[in-house]
Amino acid sequence: MARTLIRSGAADCMLVIGFEQMSPGSIKSAWTDRPSPMGLSTQMMEDTRGRHDSPRNAQYFANAGREYGARAEDFAEIARISHEHSQRNPYAQFRQPHSLQDILKSPMIHAPLTKLQCSPTSDGAGAAVIVSQRFLDARPQLRGQAILIAGQTLMTDSPALFSRSAMDLVGFDMTKRAVAAAYKEAGVGPKDVAVCELHDCFSANELILLEGLGFSELGKAHEMVRKGDITYGGKGPIINPSGGLISKGHPLGATGLAQCAELCWQLRGWANNRLVEGKVALQHNLGLGGAVVVNIYKRADGGENRKLSDEEVVAASGFAYNPAVEARHPTVEEADRVRSRVARCEYALGDTQEKIQARL
């Protein structure tokens, strides 16, 4: 919405915020007095795959993984890589590596998905500033950290949702259509993508999306996993250097903006402890029932990223530290620097600062 408003000329600078505070345990509906928007999808799943007591979302994606077809070890290896990547992301909810056997032996949620292959319930927040070219041209000091949204698509499910395919029921068809449109707008293809943050709510979904996003040939996504092509040292693209939803966490309203932040840090060269060199980054985020967003990012200067030192990041930004590799609470003085000088309203701010300081 922010990009659309800016492209229309309605605004030049917009702040986009996403946040979530989740209840413990698997996701459940908070409303029992109205029909569920997932009612038809759930009925389709139960008609084709049976009714089970395991968490419903896990059933959706486990069924899709079974339909795609791969060894249990392939799904577990995806999770192992995600947990390994998360060690270098200071914002990840879980930063502990796990062996393949640890993942396979963790509690079974819905076969083939074990607990360590599932994203956790999480609290979190993310934000991004979206600006017009006119705004950027008037502030040349920002050009070095500007990232271009080169392609962007939001699509919803088609009637393929009810094709009786477990993969289409979790968005495989709409992902393929959305990414094709985003590639066309950005003037790139899957082979141009160096780094990708994708919606790995469960390891099975990541395997499916490797094909859905065009990174593998038909039926060959599991071979990418076995060869190590989705992690550092492989043929790429590097998938979820942040640790992904499995390790970083999945606060629903913040997930997309967290992906955006990671890819901006990658293309700027700020993520110097986990950098993926390249010119093009792809973000994929979806929701069941169903919608998918694909963003393709490039550096605004058209160049390739290079690893910056923490000192270079501080010199080039308004931060007193490198936020890509260090998670730090803002001080009162740092917060004050980014507040409006002409439109402050202490009444609207209320006791927010006092509450934040009390927590710190």
Would you place residue 325 in the very low, low, confident or very high pLDDT band (cuts 50, 70, 90)?
very high
How high is the pLDDT of residue 95? 96
Cα 148 to Cα 178: distance, rounded to the nearest angstrom:
19
Burial of 162 (0-12, 13-18, 19+ CB in 10 A): middle
Would you place residue 313 in the very low, low, confident or very high pLDDT band (cuts 50, 70, 90)?
very high
Cα 194 to Cα 237: distance, rounded to the nearest angstrom:
5
Would you place residue 27 in the very low, low, confident or very high pLDDT band (cuts 50, 70, 90)?
confident
What are the DSSP calls for 247-258, one per residue? HH---GGGHHHH
Would you place residue 332 in the very low, low, confident or very high pLDDT band (cuts 50, 70, 90)?
confident
How high is the pLDDT of residue 333? 85
- Provide the 3-class DSSP secondary structure of residue 243: coil
The answer to whether residue 29 scores a pLDDT higher than 80 is no
Mean pLDDT of the chain, nearest integer: 94
Q: What is the mean pLDDT of residues 182-201?
A: 98
How high is the pLDDT of residue 76? 98
Long-range contacts of 59-62 (CB under 8 A, 24+ apart): 59/110, 60/166, 60/169, 60/170, 60/288, 61/113, 61/170, 61/201, 61/202, 61/204, 61/205, 62/109, 62/110, 62/111, 62/112, 62/113, 62/202, 62/204
The answer to whether residue 90 scores a pLDDT higher than 90 is yes
How high is the pLDDT of residue 30? 78
Using alpha carbons only, give the angle 53, 222, 98 rounded to the nearest 5 degrees: 65
Helical segments of the chain, H only: 2-8, 39-49, 56-68, 72-86, 100-105, 133-137, 172-186, 203-212, 221-227, 244-248, 255-268, 310-316, 332-337, 346-349, 352-359
Q: What is the mean pLDDT of residues 264-282?
A: 98
How high is the pLDDT of residue 354? 87
How high is the pLDDT of residue 126? 95
pLDDT digits (tens, 9 = 90+) for 229-249: 999 999 989 999 999 999 999
How high is the pLDDT of residue 25? 82
pLDDT digits (tens, 9 = 90+) for 117-157: 999 999 999 999 999 999 999 999 898 899 999 999 999 99
If one compares 160 and 28, the residue with the highest pLDDT of the two is 160
- Provide the 3-class DSSP secondary structure of residue 197: strand
Percent of residues, the chain, with pLDDT higher than 70 = 100
- Enumerate domains of the chain plus CATH numbers: 1-25+41-328 (3.40.47.10), 330-360 (no CATH)
Token reading at 262: 């990671």
How high is the pLDDT of residue 311? 97
The answer to whether residue 178 scores a pLDDT higher than 90 is yes
How high is the pLDDT of residue 12? 97
Tally of CA atoms within 13 A in the half-sphere of 63 that contains its CB: 27
